[in-house]
Structure 1
Amino acid sequence: MSTDTAQRLATLCKEILRIDHVRPEASLVLQGASSMRLMQLVARLYEDFDVIVDLSEVMGEVTLDWIAAMVEERRAADGGGAAPTPALAEEARRPAGGPVPLSELQLAFWEMRRYAPAMAAYNEGVSHLVKGDLDLAVCKKVLVELVALQPALRNAYLEVDGVPVQREVPMAEIESSLKLEVTDLSAHPDPMAECAAQHRAMYATRFDLSAPPCFRVAVWKVGERRWVVSWVVYHIVTDWWAVDVLRRGAAKLYRALMAAGVPESRPSAVPQDPHAGTRFTADDEAWWLAKFQTPPRPLTLSSRPRPLIKSYAGEMYLQELQGISASRMEGLRERLAVTMSSLTYAAFSLLLAALSGEDDVTVGVPFLNRQHADVQDTVGLFVNSLPVRMKAEHGVAAGDYIRACHGELLEAFRHGRYPSFRLMRQLKLPTRFNRAPLYDHLFSYYENTVVDVVCDQTKLAVTEIELPRGTSKYDLSLFVTRTGDRLDCKAEYTTALFSQEETAAFVSHYQALLERLLTDSSVTVGELLATVRARVQHSLPQQRA
């Protein structure tokens, strides 16, 4: 192995995996590499070394030494280069401006278009508090340039001869429709409360998919030199990863426009292939079909009668995990040789088992699905929510259960290109109007690297904030976010089944479960479940009161 390759890879791993010192002979997972970081690493291996690596190859206990040897071997075999990635090859074959069939990931959201509550629930977006002298005219130019750069933001969705397709609309046809919805709330008695109410109303938008843009951008002035900027888009257009793509792009354009005014020419549009995230193998399909040959029993957490038709009305509950620092969790993660996402997922799976009384638990887990360099900076729908199934065996030590969860997640990610919507159709599950087909609960772990951003050039300070949406995709979703040494929970719940007090109790039980694991990971699964159920029984009189 050349010293140059090893050094370049070490630098790359430090940058992407955010590890100060990468031990070349040690597993990257043991050193804290999450699945998201490994996916970015795969993309950069193609971009920097012209080597194609499948995500499944790095999802195990691989080391930096192994990756370096593999890179050199493939570069030698390929004559120093690689064939075009499948996404770019597909892009080259596509007729310019012609309709393209929807990907299998998009088809699920196309089917929802007939039910307005579902469309509102599957709107995505992000909000930021901006402090400083925000130039609204420049913001409008930024919006226009972003839409010019990202074709997915100007796609129309329709049927041609009975086939759902998407068609890229030229900028000349859509530019006049692009606008910032600006509202001055600075004189309101409670600007942020009114902003939250208007944000909730914006999230209820039912977009006309045949007439882009299928997104809205609102700017509320909430005080002297204080603004809230929110973006809402229907999920068929893109996934949550694009938030970072657009955030970076908007910041870069804003700085450039403030410095030099209107650019002489627009940058080249980012190539887009909506099918880049759904090219699966027969082995992928066989693995998922075997996993769900026997469908899981539905989990019931609420004593309330379930509505006959699924309700998407929901709220969110935010809570810091007091006393459970990321550094404490890192110690347990290292001892068990798992990732933080595996550790936090395992605790949620156990929580659901305790609350439902079911040992066979299936949870939806988002999979980024952007392993090729050409889709890293693309606005589009690539995230695939995977149904991850675990059996809580009471006599097993909790540490062994967490390791089993880690292995199951790695296997699910290895086969993660297989669209979950296709799985549900292949299984021919009976239609249930008041439940999701395979799971009613979602879990996500995310490392937040964007907290407070201050730009000296534009004199703006930007902070990502949470505003109410009024919707919930699932019965209960738990999002655990790491920011520095802090761990925060966001619970999104359906109001037809749970109150805020009950949801707060769920988060409290989750925190207690993590605390017990930190104290003693040799405790059995059965003991953990009994501990949670005892806490639930103890809290019931207080909740009723």
Structure 2
Amino acid sequence: METVTEFLKTLATKGVKLSAEAGQLNCYAQNGTLTSDIRKGIIRYKSEIIALLEGREKRQQAQAEKSSSRKSKRFPLSAGQKGLYILQKVHPEMTAYNLPLCIKLNGEIDVKLLEEAWSCALNQYPILTARIVADEGTVCHSLDDRCRTSIQQQAVAFTDRQRLVAFLRRRVKQPFDLDRGPLARIELFTLNDQERILLLTIHHIIFDGVSAVVLLRSVIANYQALSRGKPVSLSRELSGYQEFVAWEEAMLASAEGRWHADYWQQRLSGELSSIELFPDLPRLASPSFEGASLAETLPADVSRGVRDFAKAQSILPSVVFLAAFKILLHRYTNLDDIIVGMPVIVRPGQRFSAEVGYFINMVPLRTRVGGRLKLSEFLREVQGTMLDAISHSSYPFELMLDKLRTKPGTKNPVFQVNYAYQNFISDASFASLSRQQAIDVQNVPEIGPEGYSDLGLEIFDKDALFSVHVRYNPDLYQEHAIKRFCEHYAALLKSLGEDGDRLLHEYSILPEQEKHRLLVEFNDTRADYPEDKCIHDLFAERVVLDPGHTAAVSGEQALSYQELYQESCDLALYLQSLGVSPDSVVGLCMDTRRWSVFTTGS
């Protein structure tokens, strides 16, 4: 016997629509559609249809109320967000935690549809409308419709890419006001009819790197649906960032949280070293959050060598890059105890995988580099340290700082150098996105966060090649020094892959050009000289030419050519009086505080 559900499916195929209102059933259909069988079915299932329709309306209303609640209610910050909030309040003009997502759009773009696609993304991810407020002594999110942003458009013209990049970086560094909001900006810069730059800048307190991918896919998918005349489908399965905050609070109060806390307390015990690549340079009295970037693509042979070496060692390329980074830091600083910070994605289970928010944690990777370690031993230690840190990454870094009793709002006292291996954004992923959505999307790799640490190394996996991005503080390091650091890093990577399993100090960090300059060019001291004269003859000629010029220096004492010649002659005459003849070998016992080099003429 046909059920009411099967009957409703039949009506749907014939274009018959039903609705229920105040216990009444309303029917909408084209002329001739309502056959006698359909009429009899509607009468037979009337009460059940009304119950189903009213039940669906109640569920939809409840979902809408829940969604509305998500947009307007307040909820506390996560532990990591609290640390960022304090840092930003102490340094309100700081822009180090402005996260940019910059893409180039090629071809025709319907700006109105793009605006609507962005609005739908805000509906899907209401945390993008948040501002940070104090509520009865507790700092929390406030999802505020007044913080819904719209696309800001501007036509720009630049003669070269370098000026365009400089312009975009200035736009990224416009500060946010956490209290007033909004904490997200979206700007569309028109280069010409076929080329546009879409720049999304969002404060890190509500955003992270994976969120950038999630949001970009959402906006492009929304745009594609709208351009085809289809409605945008919003997921009702997302938990919202407040669910993550609740999860974190419960985890920290559990045995698991205590286990994580004990691990980090042990790892960070003892004196913590401070890394300064060039300790002779003056340090600023107060922390600086200025930022600059340098990007280099590794040569094909070096990139291929890293992949082959990692495969041969049964480790990930990320471990090879981190190990090389630590070895190079050791060479520059002569420190054995090296601590490097690494960002880790904290999205427990699958329920937060498609969410937008601050799902990131910094973990300190502490290893010893000195001693007589072989490369194979060091790689295992680095890999073990990384895996342990990832397994304990749910414990917020800000709570680690609390255990160390550091002053809130100050620069990081645990590590001054960061490392990140980025493989969730690649040129291939953008190409794939373009193919799937029939829109040409290209990443603008020069635009990224800057100033969050004194020195940061990011490795981008670009399919066949690797790209090295160094983020640095220009108040501490000059560009030419960072370029040389990158050259040493590339040379070390090449040496690690080619020179077998050696002690760590035996691997070269010198590029071939620098090695040639040091070993060949600087030692090329050949010069023409009279072959018919001895060195004391040449010295005597110089005495005649420059008798008063300084010839030798020892400590604070100096001798001119004339004075050195006179003392040499005195010594020569004395030796001759003792019977010393030419070509004799004479041992001299002299006061080391006096002169130990003489031209004797004997």
Report the TM-score when normalising by structure 1: 0.75
Matched, 1:161 2:140: no
Q: What is the correspondence of 1:155-234 to structure 2 with a 5 Å cutoff?
A: 155-169=130-144, 173-174=145-146, 177-185=148-156, 188-190=157-159, 192-234=161-203
1:5-27 Cα distance to aligned partner (Å, 9 max, x none): xxxxxxxxxxxxxxxxxxxxxxx
Q: CA deviation at 1:97?
A: 4.3
Q: The residue matched to 2:277 in structure 1 has which SS?
A: coil
Matched, 1:309 2:278: no
Q: CA-atom RMSD, angstroms?
A: 2.9
The partner residue of 2:215 within 243, 246, 256 is 246
User: Take 2:173 and 2:212, find their aligned partners in 1: how far apart are those partners?
Assistant: 19
Preserved CA contact (<8 Å) 2:102 2:197 = yes
Relative to structure 1, the CA distance from residue 514 to residue 117 in structure 2 (aligned partners, 3 Å threshold; closer, same or farther) is: farther
Relative to structure 1, the CA distance from residue 530 to residue 179 in structure 2 (aligned partners, 3 Å threshold; closer, same or farther) is: closer
Q: State the one-letter code of the partner of 2:418.
A: L
Relative to structure 1, the CA distance from residue 235 to residue 214 in structure 2 (aligned partners, 3 Å threshold; closer, same or farther) is: same
Q: CA deviation at 1:468?
A: 4.8
Question: Once structures 1 and 2 are overlaid, which stretch shifts more, 378-387 or 151-160?
Answer: 151-160
The partner residue of 1:271 within 232, 239, 246 is 239
User: Take 1:411 and 1:119, find their aligned partners in 2: how far apart are those partners?
Assistant: 33
Q: The residue matched to 2:489 in structure 1 has which SS?
A: helix
The partner residue of 1:423 within 397, 400, 405 is 400
Q: CA deviation at 1:528?
A: 3.2
Q: The residue matched to 1:142 in structure 2 has which SS?
A: helix
User: Take 1:494 and 1:218, find their aligned partners in 2: how far apart are those partners?
Assistant: 27
User: Take 2:469 and 2:234, find their aligned partners in 1: how far apart are those partners?
Assistant: 39
Q: What is the correspondence of 1:453-464 to structure 2 with a 5 Å cutoff?
A: 453=432, 455=434, 459-464=438-443
The higher-RCO structure (CA 8 Å, 6+ apart) is 1
User: Take 2:443 and 2:413, find their aligned partners in 1: how far apart are those partners?
Assistant: 33
Relative to structure 1, the CA distance from residue 431 to residue 383 in structure 2 (aligned partners, 3 Å threshold; closer, same or farther) is: closer
Among all aligned residue pairs of Structure 1 and Structure 2, give the percentage whose two residues are the same amino acid: 19
Question: Once structures 1 and 2 are overlaid, which stretch shifts more, 423-432 or 505-514?
Answer: 423-432
The unaligned stretches of length 5 or more in structure 2 are: 1-65, 522-602
Relative to structure 1, the CA distance from residue 521 to residue 115 in structure 2 (aligned partners, 3 Å threshold; closer, same or farther) is: farther
Q: What is the correspondence of 1:83-162 to structure 2 with a 5 Å cutoff?
A: 97-116=72-91, 119-162=94-137
User: Take 1:377 and 1:212, find their aligned partners in 2: how far apart are those partners?
Assistant: 24
User: Take 2:268 and 2:517, find their aligned partners in 1: how far apart are those partners?
Assistant: 36
Preserved CA contact (<8 Å) 1:132 1:459 = no
Q: Which residue in the other structure is 2:366 paired with?
A: 389
Q: Which residue in the other structure is 2:336 paired with?
A: 359
Preserved CA contact (<8 Å) 1:208 1:214 = yes
Q: State the one-letter code of the partner of 2:219.
A: A
Question: Once structures 1 and 2 are overlaid, which stretch shifts more, 487-496 or 365-374?
Answer: 365-374
User: Take 1:452 and 1:299, find their aligned partners in 2: how far apart are those partners?
Assistant: 39
Q: Which residue in the other structure is 1:410 paired with?
A: 387
Q: Which residue in the other structure is 1:349 paired with?
A: 326
User: Take 2:143 and 2:191, find their aligned partners in 1: how far apart are those partners?
Assistant: 36
User: Take 1:194 and 1:520, find their aligned partners in 2: how far apart are those partners?
Assistant: 42
* Matched residues, number: 440
1:247-294 Cα distance to aligned partner (Å, 9 max, x none): 21112111101001554x754373212424573421110000011111
Please say which structure displays the higher CA radius of gyration. Answer: 2
Preserved CA contact (<8 Å) 1:318 1:488 = yes
Q: State the one-letter code of the partner of 2:179.
A: S
1:386-436 Cα distance to aligned partner (Å, 9 max, x none): 111010133111121011100010011111101111101111136795x52
Q: Which residue in the other structure is 2:587 paired with?
A: none
The unaligned stretches of length 5 or more in structure 1 are: 1-90
Report the TM-score when normalising by structure 2: 0.68
